[in-house]
Amino acid sequence: MQFVSNPDTAATLARIVLGLMFVAPGWPQIKNVRQPMAWVKSTGWPRGEYWALLFSLLEFFGGLALIVGFFTQVFAVLIALEMIATSIFSKQKLGKKFMIGYELDVVYLFFALVVSILGPGPWSVDRLLGFA
């Protein structure tokens, strides 16, 4: 049995799934943005409220952009950078261990890197606008 490789389909599916994974938790944060801002600020993280606001906006609007494939590689890299920051935050401020702690952030980091490498795929706004 031979498997068929279709990188275009893989790129499109990866982009959409990554976007959905960030829109879902991003929406409640956008609806009540003061809550994550207050929580991160309470941890003592420098300028925590600003980071929380930035990351809430990135998760929701960046997730939407990924779903439709708009500036895909830019948003995928920004999400990867967010995951690096949240991993550092989890380790330093929350004292989480890798297992049962921040391993999901690391998975999201690598997933975002894969999307940034694969690009938007053929079914995207980027492709329609000639960016890909």
84-92 contacts, C-beta under 8 A, 24 or more apart: 84/109, 85/51, 85/55, 86/55, 89/40, 89/43, 89/45
On whether the CB atoms of residues 22 and 79 are closer than 8 A, the answer is: yes
For Cα atoms 34, 72, 12, give the angle at the middle one, nearest 5 degrees: 115
pLDDT for residue 44 = 84
Of 52, 66, 55, nearest to 21 (Cα)?
66
Coil, strand or helix at 119: coil
From first to last of the 132 residues of the chain, give the pLDDT tens digit: 566 678 899 999 999 999 999 999 999 999 999 999 998 888 888 888 999 999 999 999 999 999 999 999 999 999 999 999 888 877 776 676 666 667 888 899 999 999 999 999 999 999 999 998
Of 39, 22, 33, 43, nearest to 89 (Cα)?
43
pLDDT for residue 41 = 87
pLDDT for residue 2 = 60
Distance CA 117, CA 50 (A): 29
pLDDT for residue 23 = 98
pLDDT for residue 4 = 63
